[in-house]
């Protein structure tokens, strides 16, 4: 009887623990679902405003369902600004700029993380110091430099100054220090691999999760950049998308449904890039965890 009583007590305790764990999982998933809904609501609200009229936006209580004017508003955006021309300029700048950042930042990070050379700590400290300087302070000297090179008004002025950045080098260096074993590099050196071969064939495959994050972050930053393209693109026919969409905003008579439609059209490519990049980022992380 005592044994049976002990087994019943143990079984009851196990059932209570199982119920508590299930309740905890339900609560955690509920909180995560709530966070997802809160994060998605601004995008849904953007669709609601872009598919209505300015009067609908100002109405009270506000309308929470999409309207029927989305295609009309998108058509008016295409009639008001050179959307596809600006979109092409932005795609070129974002794609080329992101590719250059991934290459140069990962290359510099590989050297900072796994090689010793004179002045290494000083150079890295100076690199971090440049990251602390507000970008607005460099607008005038940077524009003068682009004008001296004859690049003002061209897409080159948007690509070359951002071909490498301190944040990307710092991020990739921290990742390289923790994910790239020295023994793997030593094995490559024994096989006769030099610096660039070690970088390309040994380091780069291990850098893919960090590169995916940096690529998404850089692409979105370049895509949404407004101040520098506004300053350096002196030709109004060669502006980027954010500068072109700013022309939709009139100071005293703004059609907010038109502005929101333009914003929706500009954010769709970013969502696509994020979904593709995030999938590769999570897949590489999962593959690395499985190998470990």
49 and 124: one domain? no
Considering the domain architecture, whether residues 7 and 92 belong to the same structural domain is answered as: no
Q: Are residues 10 and 52 in the same domain?
A: yes
> Cα–Cα distance between 228 and 151 in angstroms, integer?
13
Give the range of the structural domain holding residue 89, as residue numbers without chain letter.
81-247
Q: Total structural domains in the chain?
A: 2
Shared-domain flag, residues 54 and 110: no
Q: Do 87 and 229 belong together in one domain?
A: yes
Position 10 in a domain: yes
Dihedral (CA of 124, 128, 130, 135) sign:
positive
Whether 277 maps to a domain, the answer reads: no
Same domain? For 36 and 119 the reply is no
Which residues lie closer than 8 Å to 241 by C-beta, 6 or more apart?
83, 86, 87, 89, 90, 223, 266
Domain shared by 112 and 173, yes or no: yes
Local confidence pLDDT in tens for the 292 residues of the chain: 455 555 555 555 555 555 667 888 888 888 999 988 898 898 898 898 888 888 888 888 878 888 888 889 889 888 888 889 999 999 999 999 999 999 999 999 999 999 988 988 999 999 888 888 888 888 889 999 999 998 988 899 999 998 999 999 999 999 999 888 889 898 989 888 888 999 999 999 889 888 988 998 999 999 999 999 999 988 877 889 999 888 887 655 777 888 888 988 899 888 888 888 777 666 655 555 444 4
Do residues 127 and 25 share a domain? no
Task: Give a yes or no: residue 151 inside a domain.
Answer: yes
Classify each residue of 53-89 as buried b or exposed e, where b means 16 or more C-beta atoms within 10 Å of its C-beta.
bbebbeeeeeeeeebebbeebbebbeeebbbeebbeb
| Token pair of 207 as six digits | 């850098």
Looking at the whole model, is its pTM more than 0.85? Answer: no
């Amino acid at each position: 009887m005592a044994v049976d009583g002990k087994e019943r007590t143990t079984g009851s305790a196990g059932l209570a623990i199982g119920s508590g764990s299930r309740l905890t999982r339900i609560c955690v998933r509920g909180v995560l679902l709530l966070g997802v809904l809160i994060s998605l609501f601004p995008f849904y609200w953007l669709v609601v405003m872009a598919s209505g009229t300015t009067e609908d936006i100002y109405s009270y209580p506000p309308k929470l369902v999409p309207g029927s004017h989305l295609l009309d508003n998108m058509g008016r955006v295409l009639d008001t600004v050179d959307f596809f021309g600006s979109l092409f300029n932005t795609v070129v700048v974002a794609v080329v700029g992101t590719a250059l950042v991934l290459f140069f930042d990962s290359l510099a990070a590989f050297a900072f993380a796994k090689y010793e050379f004179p002045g290494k700590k000083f150079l890295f400290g100076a690199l971090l110091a440049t990251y602390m300087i507000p970008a607005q302070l460099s607008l005038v000297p940077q524009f003068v430099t682009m004008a001296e090179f004859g690049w003002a008004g061209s897409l080159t002025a948007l690509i070359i100054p951002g071909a490498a950045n301190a944040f990307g080098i710092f991020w990739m260096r921290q990742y390289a220090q923790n994910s790239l074993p020295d023994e793997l590099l030593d094995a490559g050196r024994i096989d006769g691999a030099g610096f660039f071969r070690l970088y390309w064939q040994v380091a780069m495959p291990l850098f893919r999760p960090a590169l995916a994050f940096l690529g998404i972050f850089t692409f979105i930053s370049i895509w949404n950049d407004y101040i520098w393209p506004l300053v350096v693109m002196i030709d109004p026919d060669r502006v980027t998308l954010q500068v072109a969409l700013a022309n939709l905003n009139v100071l005293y008579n703004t059609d907010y449904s038109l502005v929101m439609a333009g914003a929706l059209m500009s954010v769709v490519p970013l969502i696509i890039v994020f979904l593709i990049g995030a999938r590769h980022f999570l897949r590489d992380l999962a593959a690395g965890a499985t190998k470990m």
